[in-house]
Structure 1
Amino acid sequence: MSNGREQQRRSISEAFPIMYSQYFMQVYYSAFSVTKNDELAQDAAQETFLKAYRHFDSLEQHEQKGAWLKAVSRNVAIDMYRKQRRENRSYWAWRDACRGEVDVERTIVDQDFLRGLLSSLEPIYRQSLLLVYEYGLTYEQLANYQKSSISAVKSRVHRAKKKLRVVALQTENLVGVPERSSLR
C-alpha cells in the first residue's frame, strides 16, 4: 500500500511543476484582470495552485486544466478583492472616527436616508443587498443560504440595486438631497 502512495507522490512531484510552469501566467493574468493589483494577483495564483495541488488526482483526469485553473483563479481573486475592500473600508471608517473627522450629524442623516431606502425594498431584495455588501457574502454563499441558483442571486442583487437607485432619485428630487455616488 505504501508503495502505491509513494509512487503517486513521486508522480505528483514530477507532474505538478510542469503544470505550474505551463499555466502560471494564465492563472496570474486571470487573477490580475480582477484585482488590478500585482500582490493580490500573486496571492490568488498561489492559492489557486494550492487548490490544484490538493485536487491534483481529479485535475489530472480533467481535459481542460487551463480553463479549470483560470476559473478557480478568477473566483479566488474575487474573494480576495472583496475581503480587501471590506478590510479597507473598516480601516478607513475606524481611522476617521479616531481622528474625529467624521461629521456625526451627516453620518446619522446618511444612515437614516439609506435605512429609509432599504426599507422601501421587498425583504428578499433587502436581504440580498445587505448580505452581499454589508456582510461580504459571495454570490455562491448567498445562493446556498437562500437555496437558489447563483444566476438568480445575481439577478436579485441587480434588480435590488436598480430599484434602490430609482427610489433614491425620486427621494432626491422630492427633498433636494445631493446625489449619492455610492448608489451607482
Structure 2
Amino acid sequence: MTTKTATGTFESEVMPYLNQLYSGALRLTRNNADAEDLVQETFLKAFKHFDSFQPGTNLLAWLYRIMNNTFINAYRKKTREPKTSTVDEIQDYQLAQDTSHPETRSAEATALDRLGTEDILAAMDALPQEYREAVYLADVEGFSYKEIAEILEIKQGTVMSRLHRGRKKLKDLLQDRLILSRPVGEATDRNLVTSQGGK
C-alpha cells in the first residue's frame, strides 16, 4: 500500500470519529485547547500505528485506547486551574442515550432528560475519575464491557465493578437533584410516600 493510499484509507475511516473523539478528549482534559491538542496527538499516533489496527475490530475503541493512554502519559500530571465542561459535551451525553450499547445501558441514564445541563454537569463532575470514565464510555459512547476493559487496560470485572459503583453514585446524585428541582409540595409528598412505603 502506497503512502498516498494509506493516508486516504486513514482519513476515510478515522476522520468520521473526529467530533466523537473531541467530546471524549474534552471529558478528560476539561479544557478546549488541551482537548484539541489531545485529539491531534491521538490522530498522529493512530496514523503512525494504523498498520497495527486489526480490521473487523472496533476502530473507535482502538482510537479511544490510544487517546486514553496519551492522556495518562502527557496530561494527567499537569496541574491547572479547575476546568469547566462545555454545553456541547453534555448535549452529546443526552443525544447518546437512545443509541447506547444494550449491554451497558443503564436505567438511570434516562433521568438525565429531566434535568438541566448544569445539573448533569455537576452530577457527572462529582463522580471520581475512574467511575466517570467507565460511565461515560458505557452510557455515552455505548462501548461493551470488553471494549471498555481494552480502552482502560483493566480487567472486565473491574469495569463492571466501576460501572456498578459509578451508576449508583450517579443515581443518588441525580435523585437528589430531581427532588430539589421539583416544586416543594411535590418533593414533600414524594418523601412522605417513601417514608410510609414500608407501613
TM-score of the superposition, structure 1-length normalised?
A: 0.40
Larger radius of gyration: 1
TM-score of the superposition, structure 2-length normalised?
A: 0.37
Whichever structure has more helix as a proportion of its residues is 1
Q: Looking at both structures, which has the greater relative contact order when contacts are Cα pairs under 8 Å and sequence separation is at least 6?
A: 2
